[in-house]
Structure 1
Amino acid sequence: MCGRFTQAYTWEQLVRLYRLTFPPQNIEARYNVCPTDPIDTIALAEDGGMTFARARWGLVPYWWSKTLKELPATFNARSDGVATKPMYRDAFKKRRCIVPMSGFYEWRQMEDGKQPFFISAADSGVLSVAGLWDTWKDRASGEVIRSATLIVTEANPFMSDIHDRMPVFLPAGRIDAWLSGQGGTDLLVPAAVGSLRAWPVSRRVNSSRQPGDDPTLIEPLKAA
């Protein structure tokens, strides 16, 4: 699963990759994005263009009748159930998005504990993760919350050395098919071998309390 990632890129990168016509946004690099944090998302606008929005990481379906504290973990949606599970199936049909990221963390079990690794694109570019979004109204406060989840699939041979699952990364040529709904679960496949790189990083990132603006979190771990 993917429970921590980074969003460190420029607005210009998003404009080029997603053909955004949205007014420029102030984007601050974040190196320790955790579940329930606000995340950047890209979705189709009503006019067919691309729109940018921030959303709570952890999908809250529009029909959820309990409190957020009672919501199960929804920051990842497995590709093999996303089209059928009640928590996700309506968003899968109608509300798809892309979650851009510059990389993500995953942990490998070692003799002395779990070792975090940072995984990024081999070319250092922005990764486009298949996601879903929804809006939910808190009945107590009246607040309307936009939320999103990342879709994960089985790991490719490269990632399987670290973890058994990975986010679904969409190549540029498949983004439109995903967002428009023309493509189905056939798009939700592991990334091509050779498209990612990884290195061990400090265990400081094990804590969700680590400052999100600290770029040293993704620096390669120095040999002892």
Structure 2
Amino acid sequence: MCGRYSIAITVKDKNNKASRVARLLEKYKLEAHYNAAPSQLLPVVTADEPDKIQLFSWGLVPHWSKDQHHGNKPINARAETLLEKPSFRELVSRRHCLVPADGFYEWRKTASGKVPYRFLLKSEELFSFAGLWDEWADTETGEMQRTFTIITMEANELVKPTHDRMPVILSPEKEEAWLDVTKGNNLLQQFLRPFPAEEMKSYAVSALVNSVSNNSANLLQQVPEQGSLF
């Protein structure tokens, strides 16, 4: 699964003209999120408004829900069953989104407890998760809530020792293609595959990331792995 990630634009990102999300984040000057968590309002780019950053809540509320607080709000959607689940099936053909990120966290089980690791591209540039979004309207108040979920799939060889699943990461050229919902469901397999492990890296980070109340650049810093003297 993917339950925590980070997003902060850097000089490298500002110079990356190929990435739609990098260009838009630089334009909108949004604050960094070093510990993005479910229920928070986070930046997304939708197929409906591809040249705009919008803030949606992480945790999908289907449009047909009677109560926005009722039932689960899935933060992840399994790629293998997208067309089987009512919450996602309609969205696959019409409501794609890009979820900007520069890394994500997973917790590795060790003899002394769970250790958080950060996973990112070797280039350390921004990328996008493949996401789906929906909007829910309160018929009494007219309140509109827009939410999103991140698609996950089987982990690549880098992530697998820590977790058996990982978010679907899109390269800049696939960002554009993912936003083109006219391609239909037949091309899902083109996008929904593990990102190459050889283009990624990972390292242990501070346990401070365990608490969503912590949100500083220090969370991105590498710490010695347990059992290491250096």
Is this a same-fold pair by TM over 0.5?
A: yes
Aligned with 2:29 (options 19, 26, 30):
26
How is 1:1-224 mapped onto 2 (pairs within 5 angstroms)?
1-9=1-9, 12=14, 17-18=19-20, 24-45=27-48, 49-68=50-69, 70-139=70-139, 141-181=141-181, 182=183, 183-210=187-214, 212=215, 214-222=216-224
The structure-2 alpha-carbon separation of the partners of 1:164 and 1:147, relative to structure 1 and needing over 3 Å to count, comes to same
- CA deviation string 1:8-61 (max 9, x = no partner): 116846875118679932311110111010111112246xx5332110001111
- Tell me, in whole angstroms, the C-alpha distance in 2 between the residues paired with 1:106 and 1:54: 24
Quote how far apart the aligned CAs of 1:119 are. Answer: 0.8
- Tell me, in whole angstroms, the C-alpha distance in 2 between the residues paired with 1:23 and 1:139: 36
- Tell me, in whole angstroms, the C-alpha distance in 1 between the residues paired with 2:99 and 2:17: 14
The structure-2 alpha-carbon separation of the partners of 1:140 and 1:203, relative to structure 1 and needing over 3 Å to count, comes to farther
RMSD: 2.3
In the alignment, structure 1 segments of 5+ residues that lack a partner are none
In the alignment, structure 2 segments of 5+ residues that lack a partner are none
One-letter amino acid of the structure 2 residue matched with residue 65 of structure 1? K
The 8 Å contact of residues 58 and 149 in structure 2, kept in 1 or not, is answered as: yes
One-letter amino acid of the structure 1 residue matched with residue 219 of structure 2? L
Quote how far apart the aligned CAs of 1:111 are. Answer: 0.6
Quote how far apart the aligned CAs of 1:127 are. Answer: 1.7
- Tell me, in whole angstroms, the C-alpha distance in 2 between the residues paired with 1:172 and 1:24: 17
- Tell me, in whole angstroms, the C-alpha distance in 1 between the residues paired with 2:112 and 2:212: 20
Give the 3-state SS of the residue equivalent to 1:194 in structure 2: helix
The structure-2 alpha-carbon separation of the partners of 1:21 and 1:92, relative to structure 1 and needing over 3 Å to count, comes to same
The structure-2 alpha-carbon separation of the partners of 1:65 and 1:13, relative to structure 1 and needing over 3 Å to count, comes to farther
The 8 Å contact of residues 44 and 50 in structure 1, kept in 2 or not, is answered as: no
Q: Percent identity?
A: 32
- Tell me, in whole angstroms, the C-alpha distance in 2 between the residues paired with 1:191 and 1:65: 37
The structure-2 alpha-carbon separation of the partners of 1:44 and 1:15, relative to structure 1 and needing over 3 Å to count, comes to farther
The 8 Å contact of residues 60 and 136 in structure 1, kept in 2 or not, is answered as: yes
The 8 Å contact of residues 61 and 68 in structure 2, kept in 1 or not, is answered as: no
Alignment coverage as a number of residue pairs = 219
The structure with the greater share of residues assigned to helix is: 2
- Tell me, in whole angstroms, the C-alpha distance in 2 between the residues paired with 1:198 and 1:13: 23
